[in-house]
Amino acid sequence: MSDSPGFPDAAARDRDEAESASAFAHPPVAPDATAAYGDHPDQVVDFYAPRDGRTAAPLVVLLHGGAWRAPYDRAHVSPLADFLACRGFAVANVEYRRGGDDIPQQRGGEGQHAPGADPVAGRWPETFDDVAAALDAMPVLAARELPGADVRRIVVTGHSAGGHLALWAAARHVLPEGSPWRLSAPPPLRGVVALAPIADFAAAVRLGVCGGAVTQLLGGEADFADRAAHADPGVLLPTGIATAIVQGVDDIVVPQAVSEAYVDAAALAGETVGLTLLGGVGHFPLIDPAADACAVVAEEITQLAW
């Protein structure tokens, strides 16, 4: 999961490995309820009730990362879901279909999947089908499973590849005409907090983020340009929805330059996106309840939700 762009030095790699180990050391936290939004086994949402028992709690929709690859599922962010629930939020931890070794491999270039490499990233169009379906079903599911949730106050957050999906979910009303995921009006969200997101595909491809995962997500180089128009948050602007990014300055997995490319693209489109840069922080502390960075994430969500 921590395929690094460029050639980070040994100290940077050691820090990344230590941060990853800390984030993944937490045992999964069982949800209070689970509901399906479709028939596939991956089309499920885990719900976490606010731990203080409050009612009318804002709902945080959480989209996990893992380069859109099957080995990484929602369990690894369940400690973050619990952390947010302890901060008084209702939380919906969404699963979605990712790429795996059973996916037909793409041809050529960065989309090619070599023997022994990571599973191919994403499923086209299923990954996007699922995120759209989960968000569309969320108000009804959350009202049923979490009576204390206020579905009029929804903030979407996601980490890494999940940060990409969070930004994309907030941009469905500006998708090209004819897109199967296009909404006729902006989604009813209070905002988006994207954590080290793969936010701009051109920058991510240039930096080789996650071993060519972006190209794989779109099905290979042959379809890249056409599909990117429907999937790249960096071209789906402006959204008119409050958006904040939290980014570690020392991130060697999804570097700061990717977030900055998105922020710059938003500015050119006439929109301001908040960018909180955390010094001495890499990729994984943003989802690690034991790290100070996780408290910053909760505060960013609070500012939009309340």
CA distance 218 to 21: 30
Ordered DSSP codes for 115-164: TTSPPPP--TTHHHHHHHHHHHHHHHHHHHH-TTEEEEEEEEEEETHHHH
Quote the pLDDT of residue 49. 97
- Residue 116: how many other CB atoms lie within 10 Å: 5
Confidence of residue 1 (pLDDT cuts 50, 70, 90): very low
Pairing status of strand 57-63 against strand 243-248? unpaired
CA distance 164 to 179: 18
**230 alpha carbon, distance to own chain's centre:** 16
Quote the pLDDT of residue 113. 39
Using DSSP's 3-state secondary structure scheme, residue 5 falls into coil
Quote the pLDDT of residue 306. 84
Quote the pLDDT of residue 114. 44
| pTM as predicted | 0.93
Contact indicator for 142, 124 with CB cutoff of 8 Å:
no
Q: What is the amino acid identity at position 20?
A: S
Confidence of residue 106 (pLDDT cuts 50, 70, 90): very low
| Phi-psi category of residue 30: left, alpha or beta, with phi > 0 → left and psi -120 to 50 → alpha | beta
pLDDT of residue 105 exceeding 80: no
- Residue 76: how many other CB atoms lie within 10 Å: 20
Contact indicator for 168, 177 with CB cutoff of 8 Å:
no
CA distance 66 to 60: 19
* Residue linked to tokens 């045992």: 27
Q: What is the mean pLDDT of residues 160-177?
A: 98
* Residue linked to tokens 């996007």: 128
Largest distance between two CA atoms of the chain: 53
DSSP H or E run through 215: helix 213-217
pLDDT of residue 109 exceeding 70: no
Q: What is the mean pLDDT of residues 98-119?
A: 53
Quote the pLDDT of residue 295. 98
Quote the pLDDT of residue 2. 39
Higher pLDDT, 118 or 62: 62
N residues, the chain:
306
Mean pLDDT of the chain: 93
pLDDT of residue 171 exceeding 80: yes
> Token pair for residue 144?
């049923």
Alpha-carbon Rg for the chain, nearest whole angstrom, is: 18
At residue 189, φ and ψ (nearest 5 deg) are -120, 145
Least confident among 35-44, 46-55, 177-186, 290-299: 46-55
What pLDDT digit, counting tens, does each position of 175-218 carry?
999 999 999 999 999 999 999 999 999 999 999 999 999 999 99
pLDDT of residue 116 exceeding 60: no
Contact indicator for 60, 301 with CB cutoff of 8 Å:
yes
